[in-house]
Amino acid sequence: MAELDRVIKPKTKRTKRFLEKREPKLNENVKNAMLIRGGNANATITQVLRDMYALKKPYSVLYKKKNITRPFEDQTSLEFFSKKSDCSLFMFGSHNKKRPNNLIVGRMYDYHVLDMIELGIEKFVSLKDIKNSKCPEGTKPMLIFAGDAFDVSEDYRRLKSLLTDFFRGPTVPNIRLAGLEYVLHFTALDGKIYFRTYKLLLKKSGCRTPRIELEEMGPSLDLIMRRTYLASDDLYKLSMKLPKALKPKKKKNISHDTFGTTFGRIHMQKQDLSKLQTRKMKGLKKRPTEKLIDNQENGSEKNKRRKID
Amino acid sequence: MEPRSVEEVLARAEQAEAEKLRLITVHKDLELEFDLGNLLAIDRNPPTGLRQRNKSELETRLLGLARDNVQLLINQLWQLPTERVEEAVVAKLPEPSLRLPREKPLPKPRPLTRWQQFAQLKGIRPRKKTSLVWDETSKQWRRRWGYQRARDDTKEWLIEVPGGADPNEDQFAKRLQAKKERVAKNELNRLRNIARAHKVQLPSQGGMHPTGYQSRDELGKAMQVAKLSTASVGRFQERLPKEKPPRGPGKKRQFQPNIGDFATEKKNQLELIRVMNSKKPRMDVTKATNKQMREEDREEAAKKRKIAKGGKRKGRPPGPGAKGKGGPPGPGSKRKGGPPGLGGKKGQRQGGKRRK
């Protein structure tokens, strides 16, 4: 309850709601993205940012004016924008001779830059160049990362985490199966990353699960990784910290095997095994004559024991 | 019909099943890793199939790879438990397994306010109240507190003067004043709660609250403040026998103004030059006597110690003339400074600076 923390109390309910939306919470809001053009952005970069804005609506803000900053040198203006518009993801596009068609993707923690990765765009096909039907805005995309390069180096792993964070959208408990409309596919091959967007077509197959056909829909980019600015390990760990309330509750007496088998423990009192009720097998039941013989034998045994004692 | 063997029937059934699933099965060397909460799939197979010579076919091959991966992801998604929500089939997604960093730090737990502590102690729980109250005077339902509330005593147009009150007192102003005081008290308590939550010192308290582990200075300061907090602002407070009067606030050193009395300045400077020129050394009598006294005391103490040590070793009682202070007085005067004439510049201080 941070509005109880302020020396100046909010006077209207609207202000109070605004402040409550921005304060840190246990379960966080969906991350907003801000798309910024640098001082020397060209038409390609502008179109890329417009397409990303279309993909990420309504959780993104597109800045109309050019902002002359250099994120890798000075992060203060980015942090200021993030504070004003409450956005924790950003994409900054610029173009110069040394780094043509440059796109910096990054995220923030506590309004300070956490990670930033600079990508160069080699080939770009825009949404409006591909004359196919598009899907409505606000749908949750499916994400696929292909290629073993995404696990090899730390840069690529952070890039994977960053791209997931960027394009993921809101976390929902249920999803309408017919509403799975498009998929973003990232392939890492020979130092290049191919970013393709496909629209999903569900076709009939013999069984319940449909057969998939894909149709190229949206922006497609060929990217190469340039500079990176990754957060230090302890800052990253701090940002990943899970609050205690959200940790999965451990259930006692349940353990899991490496193979996935679940084991449970039951604590019982000591049982008298002679009085155990087992299944009655009628064929094995003793006949009355056999019972008699047994009794006689038991009697003689007892006599024998007494003699020894 | 010819009897067919069991194996043939089973084999045919399997084939039929495989045929049905043919359209949706995909063969991969390495299984994909799925995170259904995020609708994410990770394919770790090296993309060797894509590295062919001709560049033009890259797009189609990428499409093929994507189609396979998406098919596998869709197969997984269709396995999830579904339910019907308003004519739509909805699948229940599990929790996302890929952990991503937060955007803001964790909210800090805050300490309870004074009221909350008290309520917890007493077991008081908040009672649910109605939001509107019937107001007799205006004959309508009004809110319990806030703008145009039900029983607002500052808004009454007629107030009876109570029995024992001064007839010239303004009762309306009195009620307004009381309201202002209540508001101010509430605000003060709110700020105190915030200060306690942030462990910030309130400026009015000035660091004086008993912890049991206070330093000498803090205790002294607290005592001084307590002494001043009487009706006559500390003028008639008794002091302990040897306690010094407190050094009040204010200047500790007095400086003469730079351009003041020219006559005294001239006199002082001439005197200074005369003293510097004179060949005779000046003597500060009080300082001299004090130094002498100190040396004597030291000598006596040293002698005493030697005799005591010697006495212990040889077992002899201390010798004659146990050097008390009753010995013949040393040269020079002891207590009352020098002969009054030579007061020195330091003035008529009694006994000079007696060492501790």
A114 contact partners, CB below 8 Å, separation of at least 6: A106, A107, A108, A231, A235, A236, A239, B101
Whole-number pLDDT of residue A161: 93
Query: Does the beta-carbon distance from B62 to A187 stay under 8 Å?
Result: yes
Specify the amino acid at residue B199. Answer: K
Terminal C-alpha separation, chain A: 83
Q: Which residue from B minimizes the CA distance to A176?
A: B90
Identify all chain B residues contacting A200, using CB atoms and an 8 Å cutoff: 70
In Å, how far are A8, B77, B200, B212 from B205, measured between CA atoms? 21, 63, 11, 17
What pLDDT digit, counting tens, does each position of B221-247 carry?
888 888 888 999 888 888 888 888 777
Query: Does the beta-carbon distance from A174 to B19 stay under 8 Å?
Result: no
A116 in contact with B, Cβ within 8 Å:
no
What pLDDT digit, counting tens, does each position of A199-244 carry?
998 888 878 888 888 998 889 999 999 999 998 889 999 898 887 7
SS3 B329: coil
Query: Does the beta-carbon distance from A168 to B38 stay under 8 Å?
Result: yes
**Per-residue pLDDT tens listing for chain B (356 residues):** 455 688 888 888 888 877 777 777 888 888 888 998 999 999 888 887 777 666 778 888 888 899 999 999 998 888 888 888 888 888 999 888 888 999 898 888 888 888 999 999 999 999 999 889 999 888 999 999 888 888 888 888 888 888 888 888 899 999 999 999 999 999 999 988 888 888 766 666 666 777 777 888 888 888 888 888 899 988 888 888 888 877 777 778 888 888 878 998 999 999 999 988 988 877 788 999 999 999 999 999 999 999 988 877 655 554 444 444 444 444 444 444 444 444 444 444 444 454 54
Mean pLDDT of A86-107: 93
What pLDDT digit, counting tens, does each position of B114-171 carry?
899 999 999 999 999 988 999 988 899 999 988 888 888 888 888 888 888 888 889 9
Whole-number pLDDT of residue B323: 47
Identify all chain B residues contacting A180, using CB atoms and an 8 Å cutoff: 39, 74, 77
B101 in contact with A, Cβ within 8 Å:
yes
Nearest to B50 among A7, A189, A210 (CB): A189
A contact residues 145-164, partner B, Cβ 8 Å cutoff: 145-148, 150-151, 160-161, 164
Percent of chain B with pLDDT over 70: 83
Q: Which residue from B minimizes the CA distance to A190?
A: B51
Residues making up chain A, counted from first to last: 309
Query: Does the beta-carbon distance from A178 to B107 stay under 8 Å?
Result: no
Nearest to B70 among A109, A177, A200 (CB): A200
* Among candidate residues B249, B194, B258, the one with its CA nearest the CA of residue B225: B249
Q: What is the CA radius of gyration of chain B?
A: 49
A297 in contact with B, Cβ within 8 Å:
no
Query: Mean pLDDT over all residues of chain A?
Result: 87
- What is the Cα–Cα distance from B137 to B159, expressed in whole angstroms? 14
Angle CA(A128)–CA(A163)–CA(B74) in degrees, nearest 5? 80
Query: Does the beta-carbon distance from B194 to A168 stay under 8 Å?
Result: no
Nearest to A145 among B39, B42, B198 (CB): B42
Query: Does the beta-carbon distance from B23 to A151 stay under 8 Å?
Result: no
B45 in contact with A, Cβ within 8 Å:
yes
Whole-number pLDDT of residue B349: 47
Whole-number pLDDT of residue B88: 83
Identify all chain A residues contacting B110, using CB atoms and an 8 Å cutoff: 1, 4-5
Query: Does the beta-carbon distance from A144 to B90 stay under 8 Å?
Result: no
Identify all chain B residues contacting A176, using CB atoms and an 8 Å cutoff: 88-91
Which two tokens mark B66?
């994507």
Query: Does the beta-carbon distance from B89 to A242 stay under 8 Å?
Result: no
A177 contact partners, CB below 8 Å, separation of at least 6: B77, B78, B82, B89, B90, B91
* Among candidate residues A246, A46, A199, the one with its CA nearest the CA of residue A126: A46
B321 in contact with A, Cβ within 8 Å:
no
B55 in contact with A, Cβ within 8 Å:
no
- How many angstroms away from the CA of B24 is the closest CA of chain A? 6
B76 in contact with A, Cβ within 8 Å:
no
Nearest to A171 among B75, B92, B96 (CB): B96
A245 in contact with B, Cβ within 8 Å:
no
Identify all chain A residues contacting B65, using CB atoms and an 8 Å cutoff: 146, 185, 187
Query: Mean pLDDT over all residues of chain B?
Result: 81
B contact residues 180-199, partner A, Cβ 8 Å cutoff: 190-191, 193-194, 197-198
Peptide bond into B81 cis (omega under 30): no
A222 contact partners, CB below 8 Å, separation of at least 6: A121, A122, A123, A124, A192, A193, A194, A195
Whole-number pLDDT of residue B216: 86
Confidence at A268, pLDDT banded by 50, 70, 90: confident
Identify all chain B residues contacting A236, using CB atoms and an 8 Å cutoff: 101
CA-based torsion, B218, B220, B224, B229: positive or negative: positive
Which two tokens mark B252?
């500790």
- What is the Cα–Cα distance from B291 to B283, expressed in whole angstroms? 12
Whole-number pLDDT of residue B123: 93
Identify all chain A residues contacting B69, using CB atoms and an 8 Å cutoff: 144, 146, 185
A172 contact partners, CB below 8 Å, separation of at least 6: A140, B93
Which two tokens mark B83?
């339910």
Terminal C-alpha separation, chain B: 130
pTM of the model: 0.65
